């Protein structure tokens, strides 16, 4: 091997992309010997992504194939790494919600919720009941929107293209509802440490119930369209199976864990907010395949509708945020007449409030599983460390055992049924 | 002119207008969703906002079949070479919409991981503000682009004023492959 | 297909004690923490806002995990992360723990007992190494790679300790406090003139 080939090999090695260690080794041999793929190696390596229609964003998957059978699957991530944990250390606790909400962009309110709950635990602040119920209402609405989106994209990935349109149709209505409360369709920054940003608008009850009816009707449409559809069943049943032991070992949570016959939902197991006071069922199935995960997400929409209805019925009155001027800003009107209110307002939005030194981990159930926030404070107005345990990040690892031995066409169904949100995986 | 033999009705016009009209009315976007904005981009394609009204409902998975790249979301350092490659794979004429503040300027994430503005990598035609921009905003951006296409040159990119005075340098120091008949230099016109 | 009896067996003692330990007095109020401290006498229990935390030496990181998994029914290691305490203004002082710059944090979850537990180890910047937990909890594979990628903490025994989020040829560990945040100065480019 002369110098030129060495240089060439080094150049190619640099050009091959990150994370594909196995692949790179083979490529080096190819470059060095100058030949084709080694004869004894009958497998093909196929790269999917990061720009691929079915990979839900910028997920990249390396597949080792023998014919059309997948021998190995390796997810390669990091294409959406945004450095949010670093940015989070430079933002105050008030601003932090703006940051975390952009991680899991399909359920931003869950992110805000877990962040706010972590900050509140460090502050030892109790949130007034109306804020608790409002949070629950919004998070469940968000869960509906997220699962509706799953129905749309999952349908598109499997080939039921009309699902794409139907899913968006209902999701749009839910988003419009969220917009009337929070002012934004996504990345709401509405749940903040100490409560929520604003009260519910007038006439909200009526709108919510109307949307609930609409979503229920949508779900029954999907049921009749998909549940017994032979093509759908052919593509989904028995595809991407995972056992309960594997799912637990790989750190899976949410619908993936529940699809393996394990009734585990943090809303029920370790209740937060007011989930103790509402009635809902934890949906779980036994087979651990793509079809089960689809069913779980479909019927969780109905459970969320149930919770939302109860929230509307039981919504308590009172404050929607803590009346502690060190944590929440004074009402806008007070700023004009009170010097103190002005100072509080100014301090809160420039320096933020100080949080006593300490550390905590808080977890809630997001549409994708357990989202956790590990928060470390050093007594200043900005966190010393802010770490979000994204459920998709861990769930992604279950793709490898699911895909092993399946056909390459099933990989798309498997990726889709894991429902990863790359913003949360890469943060 | 011998037109007496033509049995059908016909209109006369300029070829340029015809080309612009065709380009404007069948501009196929590439599926290049990155982050939050991708959701809004897909919502724009959904039933309610219905991008099909502008002849744009066909999101092409292959960049070779697409005319428009909507950079929807934050571009990380790791994604930047991929993005550039996808752009290079698109055939001319091609346009880029930078959707959302992250793609346009890095947005709130001014840190080690993000490219501070996709215009450092590819030339951008329209910037759409918002975090994320709603479907209405994106539609406005698309219509703005359509207007540019309608009034633009058909054989040349409009150099001056395009994007933000971008110097395109290939990331690993290789010269930029210039498609024939197209100049990307900001000064040429 | 998993059978129902196994599931019920798992849930058998769901109703068992309060998931989050009560604030400890002079004795350790948390039974898992008490068991850990009994087994590993160097371990220090700390009640962190009602959550049971045990500070251990980095040397027994793997042993504690094995103990929690095999004898205390902790079925998942839900998260592994690191805190860099380089620039802390005040730092949470736990009696009996010699602070180092890095803290490796592992959060455990027990499904059968329906409770959580946290283990923290101090790791110095000169020898940033702890044992990998991948052989016990395969799910921490990505998490440990992420910590390695962003903090440069090495996990002994990890099968594939490579960068996961940053590009392979990236220099430095971006989440360390002394790593430059690589801020790009905000510049305002001249606005394009009228055409």
> What is the per-residue DSSP string for C142-163?
HHHHHHHHHH--EEET-TT---
| Alpha-carbon span A222 to C50, nearest angstrom | 44
Q: Compute the nearest-CA separation of A369 from chain C (Å).
A: 11
**Token pair for residue A427?**
């943060």
Which residues are CB-contacts of C111 (< 8 A; sequence separation ≥ 6)? A248, A262, A264, C10, C75, C76
Banded pLDDT at C54 (limits 50, 70, 90): very high
pLDDT higher at A80 or A34 = A80
Mean pLDDT of chain A: 85
Phi, psi of A121 (to 5 degrees): -70, -40
Residue among C81, C162, C175 minimizing CB distance to A374: C81
Average pLDDT over residues B78-99: 85
Q: What residues contact C103, with CB distance under 8 A and at least 6 apart?
A: C82, C83, C85, C120, C121, C122, C123
As a whole number of angstroms, the distance between CA A394 and CA A246 comes to 12
Tell whether the model's pLDDT for residue A321 goes beyond 90.
Answer: no
Cα dihedral B78, A373, A387, A21, rounded to 10, equals -50
- Give pLDDT tens digits for A286-301: 988 899 999 999 999 9
For A76, which residue in chain C has the nearest alpha carbon? C164
The answer to whether A359 contacts C83, with C-beta atoms less than 8 Å apart, is yes
d(CA B122, CA A168) in angstroms, rounded, equals 31
For A86, the closest of C1, C81, C181 (CB atoms) is C181
Which of B38, B46, B76 is the closest to A81 by Cβ? Answer: B76
- Residue of chain B minimizing CA distance to C191: B164
Residue C18's pLDDT is what?
Answer: 44
Q: What residues of C are in contact with residue A250 (Cβ under 8 Å)?
A: 138-139
Rounded distance, CA A31 to CA A24, Å?
10
Residues near A40 by beta carbon (within 8 Å), at least 6 away in sequence: none
Residue A133's pLDDT is 93
Rounded CA separation B151/A63 (Å): 46
Tokens of A328: 């929440």
Residue A300 and residue A151 in contact, taking contact as beta carbons nearer than 8 Å: no
Asked if A164 has any chain B CB less than 8 Å from its own CB, the reply is yes
Query: What's residue A54's pLDDT?
Result: 64
Q: CB-based burial of residue C137 (10 Å sphere; 0-12 exposed, 13-18 middle, 19+ buried)?
A: buried
What span, in angstroms and rounded, lies between the C-alpha atoms of B67 and B27? 6
Q: What are phi and psi of A103, to 5 degrees?
A: -75, -70
Using one digit for the tens of pLDDT, what is the confidence trace for A70-111? 888 888 888 888 888 988 888 899 888 899 998 888 899 999
Chain A residues touching B80 at Cβ < 8 A: none
Residues A152-185 as b/e (b if ≥16 CB within 10 A, e otherwise) read bbbbbbbebeebbbbbbbbbbbbbebbeebbebb
What is the tens place of the pLDDT at every residue in B21-36? 888 888 888 878 888 8
Tokens standing for residue A11: 């150049």
pLDDT attached to residue A312: 92
**pLDDT, position A31:** 41
Q: Chain A: residue nearest B43 by CA?
A: A168
pLDDT confidence of residue A29: 43
Q: Rounded distance, CA A350 to CA A118, Å?
A: 21
Q: How confident is the model at residue C184 (pLDDT cuts 50, 70, 90)?
A: low
Cβ contact A397–C138 (<8 Å): yes
Q: What percent of chain B has pLDDT over 90?
A: 2
- What pLDDT does residue A220 have? 92
Tell me the percentage of chain A whose pLDDT exceeds 70: 90
- DSSP conformation class of A321: B
Contacts for C53 with CB less than 8 Å, ≥ 6 apart: A359, C33, C45, C46, C47, C118, C119, C120
> How far is residue C47's CA from residue A253's CA, in Å, rounded to a whole number?
26
Secondary structure element (H or E) that encloses residue A393, with its range: helix A391-395
Averaged over A339-365, what is the pLDDT? Answer: 87
Cα dist from B23 to A58, B57, B93, whole Å? 29, 14, 9
CB C181 within 8 A of CB B113: no
Q: Contact A77/A427 with Cβ under 8 angstroms?
A: no
Nearest Cβ partner for B111 among C183, C186, C195: C183
Q: Using CA atoms, how far apart are residues A395 and B24, in angstroms rounded to an integer?
A: 42
Closest Cβ opposite residue C164 in set A78, A121, A389? A78
Distance CA A157, CA A420 (A): 13
How far is residue A184 CA from its own chain's centroid? 18
Burial (CB < 10 A; 0-12, 13-18, 19+), residue C134, is: buried
Please state, in angstroms and as integers, the Cα–Cα distance from residue B122 to each residue in A146, B94, B125, following that order: 32, 11, 10
Residues of chain A above pLDDT 90, percent: 33
- For residue B54, with 0-12 CB atoms within 10 Å meaning exposed, 13-18 middle and 19 or more buried, which class applies? middle
Average pLDDT over residues A225-252: 89
Mutation pick from B28, B31, B33, B39 vs chain A, by most beta carbons of A within 10 Å, is: B39
pLDDT score for C32: 87
Calculate mean pLDDT across residues A266-270. 90
The alpha-helical segments, DSSP class H, found in B29-99 are: 36-45, 80-89
Taking CB atoms and an 8 Å limit, are C83 and A363 in contact across chains?
no
Residues of chain B with C-beta less than 8 angstroms from the C-beta of C191? 164
DSSP designation for A227: I
Q: How far apart are CA A195 and CA A323, in angstroms?
A: 10
Name the pLDDT band for C182 (thresholds 50, 70, 90).
Answer: low
Residues of C in contact with B110 (CB under 8 A): 183-184, 186
Mean pLDDT of B95-107: 88
List CB contacts (< 8 A) between A102 and chain B.
35-36
Residues 6+ apart with CB under 8 A from B139: B44, B49, B51, B54
Region A367-393 average pLDDT = 91
Testing the interface with B: which of C174, C176, C189, C194 to mutate, by most B Cβ within 10 A? Answer: C189
Contact (CB<8Å) A264/C111: yes
* CB-based contact C7 A394, cutoff 8 Å: no
**If you average pLDDT over residues B4-17, what whole number do you get?**
81
Sorted by sequence, the CB contacts under 8 Å of residue A369 that are 6+ apart come out as A252, A253, A254, A255, A256, A257, A391, A392, A394, A395
Among candidates A16, A19, A17, A50, which has minimal Cα distance to A30?
A16
Q: How many CA atoms lie within 13 A of A141 on its CB side?
A: 34
Cα–Cα distance measured from residue A256 to residue A418, given in angstroms and rounded to the nearest whole number: 7
How far, in Å, are A10, A379, B85 from residue B172 at the CA level?
Answer: 14, 44, 12
Please state, in angstroms and rounded to a whole number, the distance separating the CA atoms of residues A289 and A244: 11
C-alpha span between A82 and A103 (Å, rounded): 9
- Give the pLDDT confidence score for residue C144 in this predicted structure: 92
pLDDT in tens, A201-218: 888 889 999 999 999 999
Q: Quick one: pLDDT band at residue C2, thresholds 50, 70, 90?
A: very low
Task: Tell me, yes or no, if A78 comes closer than 8 A to chain B by beta carbon.
Answer: yes
pLDDT at B109 over 90: no
Distance CA C124, CA C119 (A): 17
When pLDDT is cut at 50, 70 and 90, the band that residue B2 belongs to is low
What chains are in contact with A, requiring at least 3 Cβ pairs below 8 Å?
Answer: B, C
pLDDT in tens, A241-256: 999 998 999 999 999 9
Euclidean distance between CA atoms A124 and B189, whole angstroms: 64
Residue where the block lists tokens 């490898």: A400
Look at C165 and A77 and tell me if their CB atoms are within 8 Å: yes
Q: Where are the alpha helices (DSSP H) in chain B?
A: 15-25, 36-45, 80-89, 100-105, 135-151
Instruction: Report residue C27 as tokens.
Output: 């004795």
Please tell me if residue C185 touches chain B, with a CB cutoff of 8 Å: no
Q: Which residues of A touch C49 (CB under 8 A)?
A: 121-122, 124, 358, 360
Q: Report the b/e string of B13-33 with b at 16+ CB within 10 A.
A: eeeeeeebeebbeebebbbbb
pLDDT at site C80: 93
Cβ–Cβ under 8 Å, residues C108 and C118: yes
Q: A346 Cβ partners below 8 Å, 6+ apart?
A: none
Please enumerate, as own/partner, the contacts of A407-410 that have beta carbons within 8 Å and a separation of 24 or more: A407/A68, A407/A69, A407/A70, A408/A46, A408/A63, A408/A65, A408/A68, A408/A69, A408/A70, A409/A68, A410/A70, A410/A235, A410/A239, A410/A240, A410/A290
pLDDT band at A2 (very low <50, low <70, confident <90, very high): low
Preceding peptide of C142 cis, ω within 30°: no
Chains meeting C at 3+ CB pairs closer than 8 A? A, B
Q: Which residue has the higher pLDDT, C79 or A54?
A: C79
Q: Which residue has the tokens 């982050």?
A: B35
């Amino acid at each position: 091997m002369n110098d030129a080939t060495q240089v060439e090999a080094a150049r190619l090695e640099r050009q091959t992309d990150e994370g594909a260690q196995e692949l790179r080794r083979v490529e080096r041999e190819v470059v060095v010997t100058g030949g084709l793929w080694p004869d004894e190696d009958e497998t093909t390596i196929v790269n999917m992504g990061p720009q691929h229609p079915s990979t839900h964003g910028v997920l990249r998957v390396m597949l080792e194939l023998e014919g059309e059978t997948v021998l190995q699957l390796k997810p390669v991530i990091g294409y959406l790494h945004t450095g949010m944990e670093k940015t989070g250390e430079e933002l105050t606790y008030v601003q932090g919600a703006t940051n975390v909400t952009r991680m899991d962009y399909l359920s931003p309110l869950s992110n805000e919720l877990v962040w706010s709950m972590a900050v509140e635990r460090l502050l030892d602040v109790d949130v007034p009941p109306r804020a608790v119920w409002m949070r629950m209402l919004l998070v469940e609405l968000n869960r509906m929107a997220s699962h509706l989106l799953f129905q749309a994209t999952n349908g598109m990935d499997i080939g039921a293209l009309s699902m794409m349109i139907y899913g968006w149709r209902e999701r749009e209505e839910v988003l419009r509802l969220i917009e009337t409360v929070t002012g934004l369709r996504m990345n709401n920054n509405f749940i903040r440490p100490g409560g929520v940003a604003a009260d519910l608008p007038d006439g909200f009850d009526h709108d919510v119930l109307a949307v609930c009816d609409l979503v229920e009707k949508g779900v029954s449409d999907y049921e009749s369209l998909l549940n017994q559809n032979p093509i759908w069943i052919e593509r989904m049943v028995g595809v991407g199976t995972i056992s309960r032991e594997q799912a637990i070992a790989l750190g899976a949570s949410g619908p993936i864990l529940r699809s393996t016959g394990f009734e585990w939902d943090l809303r029920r197991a370790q209740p937060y907010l007011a989930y103790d006071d509402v009635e809902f069922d934890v949906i779980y199935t036994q087979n651990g395949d793509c079809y089960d995960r689809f069913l779980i997400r479909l019927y969780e929409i109905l459970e969320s509708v149930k919770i939302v209805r109860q929230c509307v019925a039981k919504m308590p009155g009172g404050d929607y945020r803590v009346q502690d001027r060190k944590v929440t800003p004074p009402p806008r009107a007070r700023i004009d007449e009170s010097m103190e209110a002005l100072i509080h307002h100014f301090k809160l939005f420039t320096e933020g409030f100080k949080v006593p030194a300490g550390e905590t981990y808080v977890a809630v159930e997001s549409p994708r599983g357990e989202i956790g926030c590990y928060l470390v404070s050093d007594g200043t107005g900005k966190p010393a460390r802010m770490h979000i345990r994204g459920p998709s990040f861990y769930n992604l690892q279950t793709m490898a055992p699911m895909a092993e031995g399946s056909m390459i066409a099933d990989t798309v169904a498997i990726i889709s049924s894991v429902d990863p949100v790359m913003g949360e995986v890469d943060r | 002119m011998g037109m007496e033999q033509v049995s059908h009705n016909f209109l006369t016009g300029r070829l340029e207008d015809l080309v612009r009209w065709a380009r404007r009315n069948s501009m196929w976007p590439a599926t290049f969703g990155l982050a939050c904005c991708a959701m809004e981009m897909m919502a724009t394609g959904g039933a309610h906002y219905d991008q099909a009204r502008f002849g744009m409902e066909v999101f092409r998975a292959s960049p070779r079949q697409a005319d428009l790249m909507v950079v929807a979301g934050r571009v990380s350092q790791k994604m930047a070479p991929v993005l550039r490659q996808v752009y290079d794979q698109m055939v001319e004429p091609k346009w880029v919409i930078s959707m959302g503040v992250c793609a346009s300027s890095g947005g709130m994430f001014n840190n080690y991981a993000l490219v501070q503005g996709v215009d450092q990598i590819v030339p951008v035609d329209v910037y759409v503000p918002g975090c994320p921009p709603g479907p209405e905003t994106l539609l406005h951006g698309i219509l703005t682009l359509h207007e540019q296409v309608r009034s633009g040159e058909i054989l040349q990119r409009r150099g001056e004023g395009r994007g933000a005075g971008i110097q395109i340098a290939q990331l690993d120091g290789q010269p930029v492959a210039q498609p024939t008949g197209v100049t990307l230099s900001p000064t040429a016109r | 297909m998993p059978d129902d009896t196994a599931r019920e067996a798992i849930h058998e003692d769901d109703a068992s004690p309060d998931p989050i330990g009560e604030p400890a007095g002079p004795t350790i109020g948390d039974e898992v923490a008490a068991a850990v401290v009994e087994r590993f006498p160097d371990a220090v229990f700390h009640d962190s806002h009602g959550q049971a935390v045990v500070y251990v030496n980095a040397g027994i990181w793997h042993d504690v995990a094995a103990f929690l998994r095999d004898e205390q029914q902790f079925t998942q290691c839900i998260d592994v992360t690191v805190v860099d305490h380089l620039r802390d203004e005040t730092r949470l002082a736990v009696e009996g723990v010699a602070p180092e710059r890095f803290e490796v944090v592992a959060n455990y979850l027990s499904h059968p007992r329906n409770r959580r537990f946290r283990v923290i180890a101090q790791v110095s910047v000169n020898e940033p190494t702890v044992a990998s937990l991948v052989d016990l909890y395969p799910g921490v594979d990505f998490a440990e790679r992420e910590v390695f990628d962003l903090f440069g903490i090495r996990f002994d025994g990890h099968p594939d300790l490579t960068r996961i989020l940053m590009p392979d040829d990236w220099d430095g560990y971006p989440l360390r406090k002394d790593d430059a945040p690589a801020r790009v100065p905000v510049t305002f480019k001249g606005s394009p003139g009228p055409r």
